[in-house]
Amino acid sequence: MDWPALRALASGDFRYEDRRRHALVAGDVEVWIKSIEFMAPRLRREARELIGTVGDRIALERVVGTGEPDTGAFEIEFILLTAIDADGQLAAWIRFDLDDRRAAFTEAHARFVAGEAASAGGQAPIVAFNDAFDRRDWEAVRESLADDLVLRDHRTPGWGTLDRDQWIDSMRVLADLVPDVDAKVFRILTWNHHGRVDVVRVFGTMPHGGGRIRHFESFDGGDADQALACFAELCPNSRGASPNASRI
């Protein structure tokens, strides 16, 4: 590893943070180098998947690392936020737990507003709206939208045209039907002081399932009673099924 070259990639105010629950480490470029020095000999393979970009200088990746230290094989998985400054040097390197995706995107968009988009303006209200939806703070959502807002949905199965109150009502219904619904801006196509064009992914879990198989359990042929007990445990509130149908 070329440590001097690695140091040269970082800006003078570079910030390293590991916000994973078992780590909680933060510091300058030297702390970052030490963390790499510790992990490099132990890692055998590292795979990265880009899950989002915010502007032209911030990337979010899902990282999976595998290795075999003296204590045995291991696998680590986390979200990595990488930010560069206007000169192309590393400004931030921040790790998040895999289940802390919302915090990672929130950090990325806050950095975008304060950094690359600061001179253009017009981005803070959009970030405030997204944060309010994440918190299900409907009053803050309302405050982030103009009284005369008009939403035009051009998607094929879209909503048509909605006013502010109709849009808020639709968001509240969605949040009630899908409590873990999340909407993430994972790419910004363009932006200026008037607004921006985003690519957004909306996802969540339907509480009563959907049209796809989501669970399998396998048993030996003679373990029918165990399989039936397991099935009853997995769906205690099911109705209309014949108690003998599964014995055919």
Alpha helix ranges (H) inside the chain: 3-9, 29-39, 101-114, 124-135, 138-143, 164-177, 224-234
Please give the DSSP secondary-structure letter assigned to residue 245.
G
Q: Which residues of 64-78 are buried (b: 16+ CB within 10 A; e: fewer)?
A: ebebeeeeeeeebeb
Per-residue confidence (pLDDT) for residue 15, from 0 to 100 = 96
The model carries a pTM of 0.78
For the chain of 248 residues, list the mean pLDDT of each consecutive stretch of 10: 88 95 94 88 87 97 87 87 96 96 95 94 94 96 96 90 96 94 94 95 80 82 91 72 46
Structure tokens at 31: 């702390």
Q: Where are the domains of the chain?
A: 1-116, 121-208
Contacts of residue 39, defined as CB under 8 A and 6 or more positions apart, other chains included, come to 65
Per-residue confidence (pLDDT) for residue 158, from 0 to 100 = 86
CATH number of 121-208: 3.10.450.50
Compute the distance between CA of residue 220 and CA of residue 232 in angstroms, rounded to an integer.
18
Beta strand pairing call for 182-192 and 160-163: unpaired
Domains 1-116 and 121-208 agree in fold: yes
Compute the distance between CA of residue 145 and CA of residue 171 in angstroms, rounded to an integer.
13
CATH fold for the domain made of 1-116: Nuclear Transport Factor 2; Chain: A, (3.10.450)
Per-residue confidence (pLDDT) for residue 246, from 0 to 100 = 43
- Torsional sign, CA 160, 161, 165, 171: positive
Please, how many CA atoms are within 13 Å of residue 244, restricted to the half-sphere of its CB? 0
